């Protein structure tokens, strides 16, 4: 028997969020799933039941904008979470981007920008005989615009800002949040090249190049790297984008180079790129076998993956894109972002530690399976409906007729995982007692599997559960009476070494077309040198980017859909 929730009742937390932000007038979960299935299947009777079932049973959920906006009047039916907007070295174009940012945020999407082509501050501006104010001033304007536009009434807009490491204003960029406390609507990433990382390793000089007049300033690569690490140590930012690694898998390089990602780092694409996401709930893909063990039900996972890819592809056709350029890019490239949630919980059910070779091996197997089935489905859709118009065989050598330029990506699933009641994306659990603050309400919960395991292993007591509930900071590994072998897999994000976090990200990245949203958690006493080593490690293992968070270093975040302690 599988452990599908066969959802009829959602948790109070889920109902709370759904009621406040997702349900249309008079709707409940069933009504929402009927509405979304009907809009996305767009009259295809063969698909509507499958689409309904996967959502209703919480086997697969599309990203928040799809759940909230499907079925709204046509110009508000914006269904995607991720957007990339251009930033040119031209004031008129920049102001156009500011306007477009407001439009995208209003429609429920997050935006990513690369500021590397804007001239550094102090550069001459011929048309005004003045001097340029530099990339940071444009970021300020976008930041302020974001502050004023609440996303479609649902959530705050979020931005990713990147600057290439060879831009002359790179130090100002790295320090910008430290120097300007109002810059709260941006996540920051430095776009680092392989040349830069090599120079850091060898202790070589590195060239900063003015994008406007090509003037070169020689600098010490290690010095810049150390400043990045020091700031990440202090505040978790900036993160890094390994821009050459990202471009090595660009599925449409003939349309341009990739320079930035969306706010949480799962979607790297060229300007005007857009992606609608959706995630498979891995906990629901488990089945128990005779001896009580849980294994992956691969037949079921195959079916759900096929439905999910078909669903996400269909979203593109009924999506109302906020700008004509975005509409055209979406229809010509057709990227979809199929990911997973509940990965850490899946490992818990299988009694595989998140930080073990066996755990990573299982994760690799599952992700490869989803990616393979995903591409097979896309090729099948391509045969039926046509390949995506910008498909060029040499860019995707192992595909013949793909409908989509990319299939997989790993979103944070900040809201979706809360609906499904499972661990976020590929993140480990933060604790096994959750204090969740959502909007104005607070909820306390003990992980459902903990009680089950405690009973099975004979260490359950009411007293133990009460201790857990009333001491939310208590970790299972510090709980008296829990057997050692149980402590080994009931581990939290801060029990796992930072290196093991990176290894998990790299394992997943290996089988994901676009990228992986993940935080590398570090203990409070970690050093900035350690962060440098992790950045190097992530680059060498083929990650596309990296974000670290040192325990206690920061009490705010751009996206606080769900905050746990």
Active site residues: 262, 264, 266
Could you check whether the bond before residue 194 is cis, i.e. omega within 30 degrees of 0? no
Please identify, using beta-carbon distances, which residue of 64 and 310 lies nearer to ligand UDP: 64
What are 351's two structure tokens? 């009694």
Helix (H) or strand (E) holding 165: none
In the complex, the smallest distance separating the C-beta of residue 381 from ligand UDP, rounded to whole angstroms, is 23
Q: State the Rg of the chain over Cα.
A: 23
Which residues have a Cβ under 8 Å from the Cβ of 35 and sit 6 or more positions away?
24, 27, 70, 71
In the complex, the smallest distance separating the C-beta of residue 66 from ligand UDP, rounded to whole angstroms, is 8
Mapped onto helix, strand or coil, the DSSP state of residue 282 is helix
Interface ranges with ligand UDP (CB under 6 A):
63-64, 81-82, 110, 155-156, 158, 262-264, 266, 277, 411-416, 559, 561
Compute the distance between CA of residue 85 and CA of residue 483 in angstroms, rounded to an integer. Answer: 52
Which residues have a Cβ under 8 Å from the Cβ of 376 and sit 6 or more positions away?
none
In the complex, the smallest distance separating the C-beta of residue 425 from ligand UDP, rounded to whole angstroms, is 7
Please identify, using beta-carbon distances, which residue of 123 and 185 lies nearer to ligand UDP: 185
Compute the distance between CA of residue 332 and CA of residue 8 in angstroms, rounded to an integer. Answer: 39
Please identify, using beta-carbon distances, which residue of 23 and 490 lies nearer to ligand UDP: 23
Q: How long a stretch of residues is the chain?
A: 565
Please identify, using beta-carbon distances, which residue of 64 and 100 lies nearer to ligand UDP: 64
In the complex, the smallest distance separating the C-beta of residue 168 from ligand UDP, rounded to whole angstroms, is 29
Q: How far lies 367's CA from each of 243, 355, 373, 376, 508, in Å?
A: 23, 17, 10, 14, 7
Compute the distance between CA of residue 496 and CA of residue 173 in angstroms, rounded to an integer. Answer: 31
What are 279's two structure tokens? 């995630």
Compute the distance between CA of residue 61 and CA of residue 511 in angstroms, rounded to an integer. Answer: 21
Among 152, 105, 103, which residue's Cα sits nearest to residue 322?
103
Please identify, using beta-carbon distances, which residue of 118 and 281 lies nearer to ligand UDP: 281
In the complex, the smallest distance separating the C-beta of residue 79 from ligand UDP, rounded to whole angstroms, is 11
In the complex, the smallest distance separating the C-beta of residue 421 from ligand UDP, rounded to whole angstroms, is 13
Please identify, using beta-carbon distances, which residue of 155 and 403 lies nearer to ligand UDP: 155
């Amino acid at each position: 028997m599988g452990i599908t929730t066969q959802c009829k009742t959602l948790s109070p937390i889920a109902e709370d969020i759904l009621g406040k932000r997702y349900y249309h007038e008079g709707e409940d979960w069933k009504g929402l799933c009927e509405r979304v299935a009907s809009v996305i299947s767009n009259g295809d009777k063969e698909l509507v039941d499958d689409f309904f079932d996967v959502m209703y049973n919480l086997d697969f959920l599309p990203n928040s904008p799809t759940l909230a906006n499907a079925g709204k009047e046509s110009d508000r039916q914006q269904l995607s979470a991720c957007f990339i907007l251009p930033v040119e070295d031209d004031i008129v174009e920049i102001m156009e981007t500011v306007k477009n940012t407001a439009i995208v945020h209003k429609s429920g999407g997050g935006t990513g920008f690369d500021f590397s082509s804007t001239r550094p501050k102090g550069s001459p501006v011929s048309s005004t005989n003045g001097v340029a104010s530099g990339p940071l001033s444009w970021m300020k304007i976008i930041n302020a615009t974001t502050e004023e536009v609440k996303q479609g009434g649902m959530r705050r807009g979020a931005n990713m800002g990147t600057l290439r490491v060879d831009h002359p204003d790179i130090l100002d960029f790295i320090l910008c949040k430290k120097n300007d406390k109002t810059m709260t609507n941006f996540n920051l990433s430095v776009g680092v090249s392989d040349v830069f990382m090599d120079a850091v390793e060898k202790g070589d000089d590195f060239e900063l190049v003015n994008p406007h007049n090509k003037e070169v300033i020689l600098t010490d690569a290690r010095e810049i790297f150390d400043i990045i690490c020091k700031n990440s140590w202090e505040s978790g930012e900036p993160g890094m984008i390994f821009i050459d690694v990202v471009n090595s898998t660009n599925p449409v390089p003939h349309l341009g180079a990739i320079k930035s990602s969306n706010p949480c780092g799962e979607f790297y694409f060229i300007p005007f790129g857009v992606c609608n996401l959706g995630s498979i709930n891995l906990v629901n893909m488990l089945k128990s076998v005779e001896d009580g063990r849980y294994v992956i039900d691969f037949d079921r996972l195959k079916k759900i993956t096929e439905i999910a890819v078909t669903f996400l592809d269909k979203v593109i056709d009924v999506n109302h894109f906020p700008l004509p350029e975005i509409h055209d890019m979406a229809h010509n490239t057709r990227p979809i972002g199929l990911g997973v949630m509940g990965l850490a919980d899946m490992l818990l059910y299988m009694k595989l530690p998140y930080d073990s070779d066996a755990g990573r091996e299982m994760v690799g197997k599952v992700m490869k399976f989803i990616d393979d089935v995903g591409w097979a489905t896309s090729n099948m859709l391509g045969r039926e409906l046509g390949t995506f118009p910008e498909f060029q065989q040499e860019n995707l050598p192992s595909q013949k007729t793909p409908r989509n330029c990319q299939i997989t990506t790993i979103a944070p699933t900040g809201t979706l995982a809360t609906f499904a009641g499972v661990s976020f994306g590929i993140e480990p659990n933060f604790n096994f007692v959750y204090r969740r603050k959502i909007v104005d309400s607070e909820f306390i919960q003990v992980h459902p599997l903990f009680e089950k395991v405690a009973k099975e292993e004979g260490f359950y007591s009411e007293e133990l559960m009460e201790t857990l509930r009333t001491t939310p900071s208590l970790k299972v590994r510090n709980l008296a009476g829990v057997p050692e072998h149980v402590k080994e897999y009931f581990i939290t994000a801060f029990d796992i070494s930072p290196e093991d976090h990176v290894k998990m990200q790299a394992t997943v990245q290996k089988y994901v077309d676009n990228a992986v949203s993940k935080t590398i958690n570090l203990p409070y006493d970690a050093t900035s040198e350690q962060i440098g080593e992790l950045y190097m490690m992530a680059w060498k293992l083929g990650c596309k980017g990296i974000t670290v968070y040192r325990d206690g270093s920061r009490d705010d975040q751009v996206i606080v859909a769900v905050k746990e302690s």
